[in-house]
Structure 1
Amino acid sequence: MPDLVVPATTDERPRRRADRTRRAVAAAVAVAREHGLRVDEPVVLNDRFSVQVHLAPAPVVAGISTWTAELRPDITDWLARKVAVTDHLEAVGAPVVGNSRELPPGPHERDGLAMTFTTWAPPDTDRTPGAADCVAMLPDLHTALATYPGELPLLAPVHQDVPRGLAALDRHPDVLTPEERDRLLSAHERLAPFAAAPGDVTVLHGDLHPGNLHATGGELRWIDFEDVCRGPVGYDLALLRWMDPTAGDGWAEPEQLALCSDLRAVYLASCMIAFRDVFGDDPEWDGYIRWFVSRISS
């Protein structure tokens, strides 16, 4: 397996990320080879909150939880839901990138890392999905998700991740101004009753944005159901409405859409504060946190 090159630097963050990526790739390759797959040249496709690596020449992509697992100690539970829901959607004919059949899709654990395996779906390099594509395909996705027979938690990302993020705020008091801190905490308190009992709910993708719609073979397919949960439809629309304020008009009451937009902003700001434990003091990262806080209605 080719070594990943770690650039010379005095900043430990790139080095730590490269070390974590190298470890994730090695773990995925080891699991794949144990199941008889030939892996000659693993190619890292994405390295953000998890590592996605094509185990070439095998038609398999490994998704290894790296930074996300720092936020979610029970990460294998999340990955097991992801695998089960993806299998169900594929079985009912929904457009998804399916789990791998070359080896058990997982979750697997190796070297302290949890991972799943999906089918390699070569990307269409001339097609970039957008918010309009998500809006057009979302009703059918929700219809298919609603047929899932298993138990799914209510707004799992909000209820499980936000408290960890707010606890991290005490460790990083400098990340927000006093006014921004009050805005975040006040919104969390205001939204708590809605998050606990949001009214009409359906099964949500949970992390719906154009990056989780994959162009392959001349069509669009959904990916990454790790955050699948029950919740109000407006939660899946929130990020899309930041990109296009008219996205999903008529799908939910304006009040629900406004509450879900704030809830999504609180969620993302909280998660990114928690990740500061991992990434450290980073002006660009802190700028993202403050931007999400700014999205919260006053």
Structure 2
Amino acid sequence: MEATALERAVAAAKSVAGSLGLHADDAIVLNNSNKLALRLLPSDAMARVAPIAEQVSQFEIDLAQNLAASGSPVAALDPRVPPVVHQRDGFTVTLWTYYEGRGTVAPADYAEALERLHIGMRDVRIAAPHFIDRVNEARQILSDRECSPALPEPDRELLADTLRNLGREVAERGKDQLLHGEPHPGNLLATNHGPLFIDFETCCRGPIEFDLAHAPEPVADHYPGVDHDLLRQSRILMLAMIIAWRWDPGDQFPNGRRLAEEWTAQMKKLLNE
């Protein structure tokens, strides 16, 4: 979020927490992109704040509650307050349990947690988009030059071809189920309760290889039944998607343009292997 929106979002989170009896004299920014994550002190709650127009907070709450009930490895909502979406000053605010970080998650533990999440998700009955819808959103950024004015034309063509071709191939080959959507290391917490997944706003349906493509490469070596050729295609597809999003002028991902260039080089290398 931009500085002015950030200030308002922090104030909204503090106001909501205070109205629920949680003291929030201070707020530490844990993550700031399109959505804001805050640690509220001294109550030690974790607040997720998003502009109302861009939020899927109720979906996240419903999914998290369903998954927690099945014993899936997901972060819990704050048990001290009702599990509802609050609105304040143009923002939605949801309150979650804050977990102290415990370093990184080993690949074998990462794979086990992701497999348990996928098993739990198979029993959840909730409407979610197909991953190809997210692919098409990325394609729209490329096709509308006003959405990606600074993107070099050779890269635009390569990204468009990759999204079109691999999107179709992965959709045809994969077996669909409910997925996290972006289970990268930033969305997996190492806690005293074991690895726990957070941030389900990108939940979608697709093959498990699409989720594995977001995890560090060694994780797939510990996940049973992986189609490694489909995983390779999914990883290239994932790179093309996140590169396209970084070229959107409205994207607020930290260091997004630099990362887009690094990921483009990585994608080209994979395509040539």
TM-score class, shorter: 0.7 to 0.9
The partner residue of 2:59 within 66, 77, 81 is: 81
Return the offset for 1:79.
2.2
- State the Cα distance separating 1:262 from its structure 2 match: 2.1
Q: Find out whether 1:277 has 2:250 as its counterpart.
A: yes
Q: Which amino acid aligns with 2:149?
A: P
Alpha-carbon shift at residue 148 of structure 1 (Å): 0.8
**Unaligned runs of at least 5 residues, structure 2:** none
Distance apart, 1:60 and its partner CA: 1.8
Alpha-carbon distance in 2 for matches of 1:152, 1:53: 26
Provide the TM-score with structure 1 as the length reference: 0.78
Match runs of 1:44-193 below 5 Å: 44-65=29-50, 73=53, 75-76=54-55, 78-124=56-102, 127-155=103-131, 158-159=134-135, 161-167=137-143, 169-176=145-152, 178-193=153-168
**Bigger shift: 244-253 or 86-95?**
244-253
Q: What is the aligned partner in structure 1 of residue 239 from structure 2?
A: 265
Cα deviations by residue, 1:45-93 (Å, 9 ceiling, x for unpaired): 2223322112222242111126xx7xxx4x33x3222111111111112
Bigger mean CA offset, 228-237 vs 114-123: 114-123
Q: CA deviation at 1:257?
A: 1.5
Percent identity for Structure 1 against Structure 2: 25
Structure 1 consecutive aligned stretches of length 4 or more whose deviation exceeds 6 Å: none
Using the TM superposition, give the Cα deviation of residue 197 of structure 1 relative to its aligned residue in structure 2, in angstroms. 4.6
Instruction: Output aligned runs, 1:178-217, within 5 Å.
Output: 178-194=153-169, 197=172, 199-217=174-192
Mark the CA change 1:240 to 1:37 in structure 2 (over 3 Å): closer, same or farther.
Answer: closer
Secondary structure of the structure 2 residue equivalent to 1:53: strand
- 8 Å contact from structure 1 (residues 82, 227) kept in 2: no
* Gap regions ≥5 residues in structure 1: 1-15
**What is the CA distance between 1:271 and its match in structure 2?**
1.5
Q: Deviations over 1:94-132 (max 9, x none)?
A: 2221112322333333222223211122333xx222544
CA distance in 1 between counterparts of 2:252 and 2:196 reads 31
Aligned-residue RMSD, C-alpha: 2.8
C-alpha separation between the residues in 1 aligned to 2:161 and 2:245? Answer: 17
Q: Aligned pairs, how many? A: 269
Structure 1 residues 133-142 or 160-169, which shifts more?
160-169
- Which SS does the other structure have where 1:109 is aligned? strand
Name the residue aligned to 1:244: 218
Checking the alignment, whether the CA contact within 8 Å between 1:168 and 1:273 is kept in structure 2 is: no
- CA distance in structure 2 between the aligned counterparts of 1:159 and 1:102, rounded to whole angstroms: 38
